[in-house]
Amino acid sequence: MTKRNKAGATNTKAGVKKRTKPKQKTQATKTQRGTFSKFIFRFTVLCFAFIFAIFSGYLIYLDDQITGTFKGRLWSIPARVYAQPLELYAGAQIQADELALELGRLGYLRGVPTHPGSYSRAFTAEGQKFDIHLRAFQFADGYREAINISLLISSAQIKSLHAAANNTNTALIRLEAPVIGSIFPSHGEDRIILAPADVPELLTQSLIAVEDHNFLTHKGFDPVGILRAAWVNLRAGEIKQGGSTLTQQLVKSYFLNNQRTLSRKLKELLMAIILDARFTKEALLNAYINEIYIGQDGSRAVHGFGLGAQYYFNKPVSELAAHEVALLITIIRGPSYYNPRRNPSRALERRNRVLGQMLEAGIIAPAVHNQSVRKALNKTSIARKGGGYYPAFMDLVRQKLSLEYDLKTLSSHGYKIFTTLDPRVQEAAQQAVEKTLSALEQRRQLPPGELQAALVVSNTQTGELQAVVGGREAGFQGFNRAINASRPIGSLIKPVVYLTALETQNFNLLSPLNDAPLPKLPDQAKHWSPQNFDGRVNGQVPLVRAMADSLNLATAHLGLKLGVQEVGSRFAQLTQQKTKKRYPSFMLGAVEMSPMQVSELYSVFASGGFHSPLRTVTEVIDETGKPLKRYALKIQQLVAADNIIQLNTLLKIVMTHGTGKSSKFRNAGIAGKTGTSDQSRDSWFVSFDDKRLSTVWIGYDDNRASKLTGSSGALKVWDAFATKVKVSSLGIPASFSLETVTVDYQSGLRAEQSCSDQIIIVPVPKGTYIYPHPGCTKTLQDLSNRVKQWFQK
């Protein structure tokens, strides 16, 4: 019997026979296992090699992309648009408070003027003394270094002005031209580029201490910083620290989008390592300071600390105090979350925490820290909106520049655009519009907030636009009524009719006109039957009264006598437009014009008969200060001197005796003209003195009746504006071919104060005989004496 033991051997009677091993099977198994292991090893090596090759290729690609982009990084530097600088000189008319306001507009701080951007103001026996440390500035005509000046103001006039360094009198000093806007690219990024030397150490040290205190030693990312931030945030139960280095933040802003994915985070990490390896820490930090997003101003994205300082504090970055630096560093953590206007308490808390970190790092002293944390967020000074204040004017600037420059050039080459805007006049105009419209709506029980207006102010001699208001809401970037609201101008057309009459030499200011209903003409299909505004008929009136009282019937008779097409042709010449076929109603204002176009027309009268296109831009220079374009003054005489003298006299009498006599400034020697369209849909007023021409329009956007005449509406806006600016009397020169006569306003007959309560003095061609007023004894006696002398001859 054969048995097997546990070892597998066979037991027999002869003894135990040893088991025979299956040698061939074991060797085959080993061979298979070895082959498989080698395959796995080789496959793994190949996979790692493949991955390494792909990863290396990807790194090479990233390196090439990042290095090329970063080295060749040319920021799109938008063109800066500047307003007119305030000129200071001995004899200049200015209140001390006005100068202080302008210095505040430019971000100057009152105190000891030890550095640019500061000033002191002291009251002395002689007046108010200002010591000002002016900033350096690149004007269109040259660069001015930072200088100290002193001036004395007394009785609203600069009495003395001198440079503090040598105490010598200075003829003229300009404050910096204020920035009023930028022309930035379609993607909306705006920035002011800072060189490393332009960045104060307070900013760079604080930025590193708060955002990335291992910045100078890490290799693009900071594992310790990531762990520390995670621990701090875990303990606080909220996000108090970020783990991203400044280099990683720069990569996100430069190259990546805002997607929160693992692959994007890994890419950010790799790119940060490459950047850190390829470029110096100084270059990376300077790029960060210029690139980082720091706020939103409408469609404009505010990038970099240079523009951030101007946007939030209205001052250069070099003048920022510790609490201001801390606020900017606060904002970069979340420009919307820490917006100091929308979330002031949140921004204040974070700012003070940043100040604490600056103290811990030894960047600021304890005394500075204690003073800084007590500083409140001054909401009135935060976010000076620059061009956002003057969108109507900026529309005109863009229109002008677009004729010679493409948008890409304007939005990327750092040009400086110098314009004609006067911020003091602009703000006075905007305030006058806002307050007067609200007052009119309340007084006349009109729907609140719906009445609209436009106001255009220009220099009478140069055509330089000083202010443009496109609507009642300041800073609203919408429909610009100053340019685009083309509305019937009503009686504003009448000076053209009367000028045409004077130019025929068949009429003078005292010529009798018939203020009576018009007869129906044989060739008229439909009878044109205008009426006076008050519905009355005045019979025979002198030309001066017909104009001043804006009599429709008298004007219609005069215009028909001159010829509709003749008046239309003269209108086309004065407005630089093509001649069109006109109808009789044209002579009473049935023609549509925008406030800008009306200003162009009246600028001929205000300048003494010369046409000069209204100007917004004076000069353009490049970022180095090299002049690129100077917009010279162009002048063309369109009206002879004698005729403009007579016409402007008419317009001055409009204010003293006619439809403008309700003005507060009726006796200030200004010229003016009211206008009202049919059914009082449009209220107009134009005025000018020796310095400024102003055009005001009031109405509704939907063209419904406003129930306001030129006198009761637009004139009130101008009165409010004139109260805020200086008005000077319009001087009318003498002429060898004209003589002045004193007459009765109502009749146009020669008179004097003793026999008429409405005496006016008007110029007429020499030798013009003027009938005496029957109630004036002295005038009749003079006539009798002249008759006797004639017979004796």
Residues labelled catalytic = 211, 491
Strand residues in 264-370 grouped as ranges (E): 293-297, 300-303
Beta carbons within 10 angstroms of residue 230's beta carbon: 12
b/e map of 138-158 (b: 16 or more CB within 10 Å)?
bbbeeeeeebbbbbbbeeeeb
Do 669 and 729 touch, CB atoms closer than 8 A? yes
Q: Give the position of tokens 């905007």.
A: 430
Among 291, 327, 297, residue whose Cα is nearest residue 309:
327
Rounded distance between C-alpha atoms, residue 278 and residue 67, angstroms: 7
3-state helix, strand, coil in the chain (%, to 5): 40, 20, 40
Beta carbons within 10 angstroms of residue 17's beta carbon: 11
Do 347 and 377 touch, CB atoms closer than 8 A? yes
> Which helix H or strand E contains 88, and what residues bound it?
strand 87-88
Among 207, 184, 204, 181, residue whose Cα is nearest residue 194:
204
Rounded distance between C-alpha atoms, residue 149 and residue 134, angstroms: 7
Helix, strand, or coil (residue 30): helix
- For strand 671-676 and strand 682-688, is the pairing parallel, antiparallel, or unpaired? antiparallel
Do 245 and 275 touch, CB atoms closer than 8 A? no
Spell out the long-range contacts of 678-682 with Cβ–Cβ below 8 A and sequence spacing 24 or more: 678/488, 678/490, 679/705, 680/705, 680/706, 680/707, 680/708, 680/709, 681/487, 681/488, 681/705, 681/706, 682/487, 682/488, 682/489, 682/490, 682/706
Reported as half-sphere exposure (CB side, CA atoms, 13 A), residue 82 has a value of 21
Among 601, 642, 506, residue whose Cα is nearest residue 562:
506
Rounded distance between C-alpha atoms, residue 466 and residue 644, angstroms: 24
- According to DSSP, the residues that pair with 512 across neighbouring strands are 542
Rounded distance between C-alpha atoms, residue 573 and residue 496, angstroms: 10
Rounded distance between C-alpha atoms, residue 229 and residue 208, angstroms: 15
Alpha helices, H only, 150-261 = 201-211, 223-236, 246-254
Residue 569 Cα to chain centre, angstroms? 37
Rounded distance between C-alpha atoms, residue 64 and residue 393, angstroms: 45
Beta carbons within 10 angstroms of residue 219's beta carbon: 12
Helix, strand, or coil (residue 242): coil
Rounded distance between C-alpha atoms, residue 538 and residue 644, angstroms: 27
Among 629, 605, 626, 606, residue whose Cα is nearest residue 617:
629
> Which helix H or strand E contains 630, and what residues bound it?
strand 627-630
Among 603, 540, 558, residue whose Cα is nearest residue 576:
603
Do 559 and 494 touch, CB atoms closer than 8 A? no
The residues, any chain, with a CB within 8 Å of residue 111's CB and separated by 6 or more, are 118, 119, 120
Rounded distance between C-alpha atoms, residue 500 and residue 506, angstroms: 10
